Amino acid sequence: MNKLVLLAVLLCAFALPAAAQHKVDIFGYYTPVSATGDFKKISEIHLAGDYGEQQTPKVYGMIRTKGDGATDYELLKPTLTGKRLAFTTKTVDGVYYGFAGTFAKLGDFPVSKPEGQTLLKGTLIKYRGKKKLAIGTFNFIYSGGD
């Protein structure tokens, strides 16, 4: 019986370092594929991940637009539950965004940098007040940035 207890303790000791290797940090830039209509001006969704959590005040990321009148819509605290991500943005000139989506996989993206992979799929909603201006479902390609 003592040998079984020793074996269990050893297995647990070796399992802990393996579990630590499964760090999740979703930091990166996620570019929508084939965005049209009200969403074609979106350049990317930036998720600040662990880096943003360490800032004072905390920075969660932004939806960045491109072209004339480019605007950054700061993310309010996103929720990551398993592979599901949801967030809303701060309001800029009466407009804000909501997002709900799912990661294809999770990892320590600043380290593994799955460049060019479609990692996120979700629905983006553009609002003015309580009115939905546009709804779109997109795949998002990952970039680690500079």
Domain residue extents for the chain: 22-143
Counting residues of the chain whose pLDDT is more than 70, the rounded percentage is: 86
Asked whether residue 36 carries a pLDDT value surpassing 70, the answer given is yes
CA distance 28 to 21: 19
Q: How confident is the model at residue 69 (pLDDT cuts 50, 70, 90)?
A: confident
Percent of the chain clearing pLDDT 90 (strictly above)? 80
- Residue-level pLDDT at 2: 57
Q: What kind and span of H or E run contains 138?
A: strand 131-143
Quickly state the pLDDT bin for 21 (edges 50, 70, 90): low
3-state helix, strand, coil in the chain (%, to 5): 20, 45, 35
Average pLDDT score over the chain: 89
Q: Is the pLDDT of residue 82 over 60?
A: yes
- Identify the CATH number of the domain defined by range 22-143: 2.40.128
